């Protein structure tokens, strides 16, 4: 359960980073003063590479990591049930 919570939180962080960039892009950033335009463009640039929680030997915590762990666990379980 703890692994699922970590993977889900990591996925939320990735999705949130991407949605912040899209929200900044879809705003009327071009109709404000130059300093604010530069700030919004900086936010958009930074959000192009999403933030994530890193699981050092496995990659990053997200739904694909959770799926990989579930598949591997199921494979081990079926292997153990067939050998006994």
Question: How far is Cα 9 from Cα 63, in angstroms, rounded to an integer?
Answer: 9
Beta pairing partners, 61: 53
Q: Looking at the whole model, is its pTM more than 0.85?
A: no
pLDDT, tens digit, 9 for 90 and up, residues 32-67: 999 999 999 999 999 888 888 888 887 889 999 899
Work out the percent of the chain whose per-residue pLDDT is above 90: 57
Cβ neighbors of 9 (< 8 A, separation 6 or more) are: 53, 61
**Sorting pLDDT into bands at 50, 70 and 90, what band is 84?**
low
**d(C-alpha 39, C-alpha 24), whole Å:** 10
pLDDT in tens, 7-19: 899 999 999 988 9
Burial 15-43 (b: 16+ CB within 10 A, else e): eebeebbeebeeeebeeeeeeeeeebeee
């Amino acid at each position: 359960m703890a692994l699922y919570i970590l993977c889900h939180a990591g996925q939320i962080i990735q999705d949130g980073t991407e949605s912040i960039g899209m929200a900044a892009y879809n705003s009327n950033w071009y109709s404000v003063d130059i300093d604010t335009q530069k700030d919004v463009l900086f936010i958009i640039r930074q959000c192009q590479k999403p933030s994530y929680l890193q699981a050092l030997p496995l990659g990053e915590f997200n739904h694909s990591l959770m799926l990989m762990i579930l598949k591997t666990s199921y494979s081990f379980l079926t292997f153990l049930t067939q050998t006994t």
